[in-house]
A and B are shown apart, each in its own frame.
Chain A
Amino acid sequence: MIIPGRPNCRSLEIASRRYRDRGQWLPRPLSGLEQKSASMSMRGQLFNRLAFGVVTLMSLAVLFSSAELSVADDSPCPGTGCSAAVVSWFAGEVWPKVAALECVKCHKTGGDAEASRLVLQDLSRASETDRDKLLQQNRDAFVRLARLQSDKADGRPLLLIKVAGGLDHGGKQVLKPDSTGYRILAEFVRRVSEPQTVPSHQPIADPDEPPFFDGVVMLDDRRLLRRATLSLAGRLPTDAELAAVTRGGLPTVSEILDDVLTEEAFLDRLREGFNDIFLTLGIDGNADATVLSYEHFEKTRLWYQKYDLSHIADEKERRQAGYKLAREYREALLGEPLKLIEHIVRNDRPFTEIVTADYIMVSPYTARGYGIFDEVKDQFARSDDPFEYVPVRLKALKGRNSKEDQESATGFYPHAGLLSTFQYLSRYPTTETNRNRLRARMYYQHFLGVDVLELAARVSDAAAVTAKFKIPTMQASECVVCHRTLDPVAGLFQDYFRFDTNFAIYGRRKDGWFTDMFNAGFEGEDLPAEERWRALQWLGERTTKDPRFAATMVGHAYYLLTGRRPLLPPKDLDDPLFAAKHRAYQEQQRQIQAIASHFAETGFNFKTAIKDWVLSDFYRADGLATVASTPERRAELDDIGIVRLLSPEQLERKVAAVFEQRWGRLTEQTAMLYGGIDSKEVTERATDPSGAMGAIQRTLANDVACRNVALDFSRPPERRILFPAIEPDVLPGASPESDARIRQTIVRLHERVLGRHDDVQSPEVNRTFELFAGVVADAQARGRFEQQEIWSCRQGLEAPVSDPHYTVRAWRAVLTYLLRQHEFLYE
């Protein structure tokens, strides 16, 4: 039954999802009762334990039968009953601003408060289809708790006492009584217990709220294709592709992407992007020593030192060949984890293999290091190619001493994708005191998208807690909240407990795994003893079933395309822009979940995630139809648009794509100066240009223009890239025809360099024309100038190019101008 004049439950659910606080009904100041409640909670220790047991079934029965609270037979709160005001307040306020940020950390299955009366569903681990249902369950749990009062605390709401640290709340004080979060909960309690005081006309949502992307201008399909091919394959779209997209629109972009995602250049980009995430190229020392340990590869890891190079007669050449051999071997070893990712994607294998693959990738060189070359050499097409990789299963490790042999029920090394590679284990080593917690932390960050240290809980006196408890990580609630999650996973890495990776990576702790840590396991499930030898495989299997895995991989795809990680939920409830920021976060999350669902449906094919992002509004957003006039709207759109400063590697590729030759100077120190990473100390790319980077941009623009303008004129017109339809003797102002040819050339340059499709009379073309004409005029006005390009800019020409009218240099000025622009330097 649906009561006329009141929203039905389904509409409430939908509305509550769209609810946004417009600021017109902020929680009122605390009532006298609530203030008293908060104050009393400070003294909660006096009433602790006693109060816990005093909530009577009688009061529950009375409250549950409250007729006023029932809205309909299909109530969204079955068994408890709740009003529209409760539903919307919970969905819009309590859950995102309090419960999801604080309560669910402990109040969930496997959490520190799993035995309490408030056990919530962690929506971050829920599938998209279950989300609404679980949100409703959480709401019901809160409603039940909101109705409980403590006799020992003068009948004050239990929920408010607990959250303020009273009645021996295990999580101590979560919210201060004067905080916004507390007021949100107080308002929730009021709505539950005093529904008659909630004005019926309060809005539960803004029905007129425009769609999130309202007013956002999307890239046209041709520019979208250019953005995608440059980003993913480091090339411009071909004329045929552009023509096809012009005819077929967005579906054709999708079809072309299918091919782009098979190109070698995409696979290079894939490896580069995933190194930004996993940083496995940043292993310390020489890889032949720190990846392949002395304990298990003593006799094979330095094979190159004995490799027969006697066929090289010249000693110096032979020495150089030896250096090359070692260098390429080390490079090949470092590249293995990223080649695993490439192999999975190239062959459309399920991306879950990133944590479940029962193999590693080896090359002819690295196979020698593992001591398996003779076994696998027939699999290589070119057994002397250091960088041809094939999948291989290693046998269980053999130590120099049998005590260091690896236990294995199958006789094979228990590969678990990246997790068990020596590179990953070496990049994130353990220490005696760290006990594999770094590895566990990185596992959560890399594969489940959880940064356990991101928002560390403040401890009132961390030093005192450390001193008070014998095992703080298992006994102090402040520590347990993270360690209950982290330490079991650390325990899964327990067979990799050596501290000098040069000597060994695999190796069990002599005295058995630590007993002053939570048992090895994952999210509340203990590792069975018989699975210990393959603990990381056990972890990998569970990882892929966790909904956070798919969402995290989709987040990695987003990072690959945009250079930034998905938004974090806003935390500052008192921020006047909280609602706007929260909406931006929600919209992005919705997109991530949608792509993650599709990703899972397609058997975790990573290419689908890339494609879905490219075709999404988030990737296509490019401009605004009108100015975002309010701070709220600006906050909503703050992260919209790719607008990514190209990395040194990307910029080099773009130069190569546009000019068919790299600049070649964005390497090593200059690359670092231009915001690059070394995967060791510097692991985050610069996102905004500093003055130093601005200087490099100027140099690049000057130098690339210098190298390419005269060179292009020196070629026959049919082979020119930049100036196929004009010669240096075409002067501005000489005739309407000459001006038209200059303008058409500018249009071509705009398209090739900037990806713009300008009209010949557009303001942008006018400006470039003025630049060209102005430089020529200035030169003419000066009267005397060299009749050819400057020396540096006429090197390597295919034929001499004279410049009697200064037009070649004027075109160089034009190109310099274009190369300094946002549209070239950003994606």
Chain B
Amino acid sequence: MRRDFLKWCACAGLGLAAPLRGREAARADEQELPPYDGPFYLVFNAAGGWDTTYLMDPKGVGGINRLYEEGDILTHGHHRFAPTAKHKDGGLSNEDFYSEFGDELLVLNGLDYSVNNHSPGARYMATGKLDSLAYPTFAALVAACQGPACPLSFLTFGNYSATGNLVAMSRVPYLPSLKRIANADSIEGNERSPYHDDFALARIEQALREQREDHSTQPLLPRKERAENMLYAAQVNSKALQRVTPHIPKDIPKQRLAQQAEIALASFKAGVCVSANLTIGQFDSHANNDRDQMKLIPELLEGIAYVLHRAEELQIREKLVVIAQSEMGRTPDYNKGDGKDHWSIGSIMFLGPGIKGNRVIGATDEKQFAVPFNPQTLASDTEHGIRIRPEHLHEALRQFAGIGEHSHSRSFPLGIKAEEQLQGLWG
């Protein structure tokens, strides 16, 4: 019954934030929802604005890069990337990253962020909508569409994380926190020491369920209706958190991205989470660009590699979709402080099941301006092509995730004309 109820929620596109009428809300019994089985979505955010010319869109001309020349640019399959092995300060070099993952990697260059500021840029990249604070991030949207009943459906560790009121945002900042909340009905989380005898707990749940049923038939303010539904769902679904504990590693990794990743991966593996925002900051290299980017880009790549390796160990690698992005790029020239300022052209990377790798779509010219391309052929077309902006990518992402026609997606339209939709982006 409960399974039916939750399925009904998801199919109806209502999630648990939507109003529930009649007896649907109360039909949930104590039968646990089956674990969400993927696909899982991980969005890596290089917060502050990455220098794409030191990663997937190398230049080496016109004074754009001081650490290498055009002739030093390396390749792997169709990928061209900047050499960083000799310059990096910790982390993973581009050479090693492309060597291991290049065949799976899809890169899009020449993305037009349209703005030069962190806050709107982050919002735009996260949601595909520049001029609204109401739109959900892709991670929240896909969580609301595909796993609204998961207790940690949408995890976030920072960056822009609006949910559009579709799904609750979960912040689990520390790995040990997961253990603490896993067995809420037991004293100190010890399953052998329940607070209540089983019959008493069953009575409590029954009373709450009946109350929910009663309330759902009464006229309520929309806010209250939404809140009561979310509260009920949060408490009922929280029981599934018990499944997480077996997947929490004994040793907590030191790297900041790896710490976030472990929480997300344990939640994925337990089937309690659909998507997660992972973030590392300080990319805003207005001073000493090369020093900062050579520390942070390798750290980001190391984090991605860590996730993929751990996902392999947890046997969820084939269900894991990885997106790596930033809210802006860096200027083609250096300022007086050896830094680079904000630039509205950049790149994005994708990797995962259903994404054909070893491909680079789009381009920038020698001055790091975006080259328009044909959305149907994905080939550069300076005369008739279009500028690819975040809404184009988000439309494609929605289609990729199979949620393009979901009512939640329709509630937050991106307004991409049919002729501008990217065809065959995923290969």
Contacts and interface: CB of A to CB of B under 8 A. Distances in A.
Interface string B379-412: 0000000010000000000000000000000000
B207 A770 contact: yes
Given A463-B370, A623-B219, A623-B220, A822 B169 contact: no
Interface string B195-217: 11101110110111011001000
Interface residues of B, number: 84
B256 to A, nearest CB: 11
Interface in B267-294: 272, 286-287
Given A216-B221, A692-B241, A453 B117 contact: yes
A775 B200 contact: yes
A774 to B, nearest CB: 5
B112 A702 contact: no
Interface in A86-141: none
B224 A698 contact: no
Contacts of A763: 214
Contact of A822 (B196, B228, B331, B337): B228
A466 B130 contact: no
Contacts of A690: 151-153, 168-171, 234
Contact of B286 (A431, A464, A682, A691): A431
Contacts, number: 261
Contacts of A782: 199
B259 to A, nearest CB: 13
Contacts of A703: 187, 195
Contacts of B287: 431-433
A624 B219 contact: yes
Contacts of A216: 221
B236 interface: yes
B305 interface: no
B367 interface: yes
Contacts of A66: none
Nearest to B19: A634
Given A456-B130, A645-B227, A699 B369 contact: no
A645 B234 CA distance: 13
B341 A433 contact: yes
Contacts of B31: none
Given A643-B224, A699-B184, A768 B231 contact: no
B207 A466 contact: no
Interface string B347-368: 0000000000000000000011
A767 B180 CA distance: 31
Interface in B95-138: 112-117, 119-120, 130-133
Contact of A706 (B152, B173, B195, B227): B195
B171 A695 contact: no
Contact of A813 (B120, B200, B228, B345): B200
Given A681-B158, A694-B151, A688 B208 contact: no
A809 B210 CA distance: 21
B187 A792 contact: yes
Interface in B39-98: none
Contact of A689 (B200, B230, B272, B370): B230
A194 interface: no
Interface size class of A (residues with CB under 8 A): 35 or more
Contacts of B221: 216, 621-624, 637, 640-641, 643
A681 B161 CA distance: 13
A695 B131 contact: no
A642 to B, nearest CB: 8
Interface stretch (A5-13, A27-35, A308-316, A669-677): A669-677
A177 B146 CA distance: 38
Interface of B: 17, 112-117, 119-120, 130-133, 150-153, 158, 163, 165, 168-174, 176-177, 180-182, 184-185, 187, 193, 195-197, 199-201, 203-204, 206-208, 210-211, 214, 219-224, 227-228, 230-231, 233-238, 240-241, 272, 286-287, 331, 335, 337, 339, 341, 343-345, 367-370, 387
Interface of A: 216, 431-434, 453-456, 458-459, 461-464, 466-467, 568, 571-572, 621-628, 634, 637-641, 643, 645, 669-670, 672-673, 675, 681-682, 686, 688-699, 702-703, 705-706, 763-764, 767-768, 770-771, 774-775, 778-779, 782, 785, 790, 792-793, 809-810, 812-813, 816-817, 820-822, 825-826
17 contacts: A433-B286, A433-B339, A638-B222, A643-B227, A681-B158, A689-B235, A690-B151, A690-B171, A691-B151, A693-B168, A694-B237, A695-B241, A697-B238, A705-B195, A775-B199, A775-B203, A809-B200
